[in-house]
Amino acid sequence: MSAQVPSAVLLWFRKDLRLDDNLALVSAARSGQPVVPVYIWDADDRQAGSLGSAQDWWLHHSLAALDDRLRALGSRLLIRKGKALPQLQDLCRQTGARKIICNHRCDPPAASIDRAVSAALAEDGIETESHAGQLLHDPARLLTGSGGPYRVYTPFWKTLERSGEPREPVEAPRNLEAPSSWPRSEMLESLGLLPRRPDWASAFPEVWTPGEAAALEKLDAFLEDGLDGYETGRDFPARPATSLLSPHLAMGEISPYRIWHATRGRNVSGGDLVRFRKELAWREFCYHLLFHFPDLADKNWNSRFDPLRWHSDETAFRRWAEGKTGYPIVDAGMRQLWRHGFMHNRVRMITASFLVKDLMIDWREGERWFRETLVDADPASNSANWQWVAGTGADASPFFRIFNPILQGEKFDPEGTYVRQFVPELAGLDDKYIHRPFEAPAKALEKAGIALGETYPQPIVDHGKARTAALAAYGALKDQS
């Protein structure tokens, strides 16, 4: 009579690095079997387009945080390196597991990897159980009346409103049964996710604390201070009026169901509440677009724009990326991105419009840069929104809508607070010229200690002329078709 060692279940973490509202975790905890949580760092997966370098930094800290949370439940997080399938097979052999539990990943490359892994495991007689948790609505099922995907946001939103509240979030279990012995795990450090020489992420901790606990705190703080007045405040980059939840959401440290329901019953104006939920719905819309159009990051969604001749100008691109265009709001945005791995939404539109319409550089180059440098880089939102700005995307901005970086600056950063924070060499300039230093009288520049062309660049292009040229280039498409 030998005591039967109970076989374990594997809990496979991916883009759901949280305990709260995690259906896979709850299911594993209820199985009555020991649970082996694992994260597999897969180089192929990475190439499939999800993570850039800034998110590698985030991932490192997020995995450490998840391990801490799991230890509080009496468990821990195993880390493996390599292709998912052999690692899972190895873990199944070692633990006797016949079942792997996880949550869906919704971007097409990841989803296709997951399908292949699951099919291969099935051949070994291992079951995969997958739950919804990344999106509020299933892209395969939320369709227009004629059965196609939504291509316009407003009807998409109306359908969301009509389809009732998403399910309630579920609480994390109190404990998780550990296996009698733990299989081998890599050291987190061995994944090499942190930057070295130079450590370009050194300022990230000024603003970011990766991990679920920080995400939930941020949600609370936003509900207390930010939601009231969100609708107008969200447009001003110097104001703390946005939730800053995007990087947590991108990594699955917080669930969209948790966020959606946390806003319910708040004593704020309906406009603020709806506006915030609409932003969550935009994230959904982008994922649905990506689901139905997997080429979203690579091809013009609307092929009518394919004949556009983009400029290939490495020098101009580098000046844009480094925040040296000579337009303060653009430069502030690009430097915020480099410093903090983040950029305010309003400024993303301004900087993106500048790259595409003022410099006429291909939106894909901008998309790639953002994907590499944003801690909240998301394969759906990033592609869909770059295409929106370029006018090539779904529900895109009309081609004649070209952001004027001076006016946008003066409208949304009237005192230049945001510019002064990220472009300190302009800090001493009067409000009147903070967004147009190239028009400042010599005396004002001297007083502020600015030598244009030396301490701060001259404008890389004349916006007025660039605008005219962009209108002509986009307008020419019409004549051809």
Partner DNA sequence: TTTTGAGTTGTTCGA
Partner DNA sequence: GTCGAACAACTCAAA
Q: Which stretch binds DNA (CB under 7 A): 35-43, 145-153, 177-185, 441-449?
A: 145-153
- Enumerate residues 228-267 that contact DNA by CB under 7 A: 235
Contact between 282 and DNA by CB under 7 A: the answer reads: yes
The answer to whether residue 386 is catalytic is yes
Torsion of CA 359, 363, 365, 371, to 10 degrees: 130
Residue among 63, 23, 11, 76 at smallest CA distance from 256: 23
Note whether 342 binds DNA by CB under 7 A: no
Given 342, 399, 422, 433, the residue binding DNA (CB under 7 A): 399
Helix 53-72, helix 212-221: angle, nearest 10? 100
Closest CA to 356 of 297, 302, 304, 399: 399
* Active-site residue identified among 208, 369, 386, 388: 386
Nearer to DNA, 152 or 203 (CB): 152
- 41 as an active site residue: the answer is no
Phi then psi for 240, rounded to 5 degrees? -85, 65
Contact call for residue 435 and DNA (CB under 7 A): no
* From 150-158, 191-199, 207-215, 335-343, span contacting DNA (CB under 7 A): 150-158
Does residue 404 interact with DNA by CB under 7 A? yes
Could you tell me if 253 and 210 are in contact, meaning their C-beta atoms sit under 8 angstroms apart? yes
Q: Is 363 a catalytic residue?
A: yes
Is there a contact between 276 and 230 (Cβ–Cβ < 8 Å)? yes
Choice from 68, 279, 313, 372 touching DNA (CB under 7 A): 279
Q: Which of 115, 158, 318, 447 binds DNA (CB under 7 A)?
A: 158
Given 310, 338, 410, 425, the catalytic residue: 310
| Catalytic residue, candidates 168, 175, 322, 345 | 345
Question: Is 262 exposed, middle or buried (CB count within 10 Å of its CB: 0-12, 13-18, 19+)?
Answer: middle
* 3-class SS shares of the chain: helix, strand, coil, % to 5: 50, 5, 45
Complex with DNA: residue 104 or 283, whichever CB lies closer: 283
239 or 467: CB nearest DNA: 467
Considering beta carbons, is residue 318 or 401 the nearer one to DNA? 401
Residue 320: active-site member: no
Task: Indicate which residue of 279, 372, 410, 425 is catalytic.
Answer: 279
- The span from the CA of 358 to the CA of 363, in Å, is 12
349: left (phi over 0), alpha (psi -120 to 50) or beta: alpha
Indicate whether 145 belongs to the interface with DNA (CB under 7 A): yes
Residue 291: partners with Cβ closer than 8 Å, 6 or more residues away? 106, 107, 108, 139, 140, 149
- Site for DNA (CB under 7 A): which residue of 41, 257, 287, 403? 403
Q: 116 Cβ partners below 8 Å, 6+ apart? A: 85
Burial status of residue 407 (CB atoms within 10 A of its CB: 0-12, 13-18, 19 or more): middle
The CA radius of gyration of the chain, in Å to the nearest whole number, is 24
Rule CB under 7 A: is residue 411 a binding residue for DNA?
Answer: yes
Residue 134 is a binding residue for DNA (CB under 7 A): no
Check binding of 164 to DNA (CB under 7 A): no
Query: Per rule CB under 7 A, is residue 185 in the interface with DNA?
Result: no
Single out the catalytic residue among 57, 260, 363, 388.
Answer: 363
279 counts as catalytic: yes
282 is catalytic: yes
- Cα–Cα distance between 43 and 102 in angstroms, integer? 19
Total length of the chain: 481
**Known catalytic residues?**
279, 282, 310, 345, 363, 386
The footprint of DNA (CB under 7 A) covers 144-146, 148-156, 158-159, 235, 279, 282, 345-346, 349, 385, 388, 395, 397-404, 407-408, 411, 463-464, 467, 475, 478
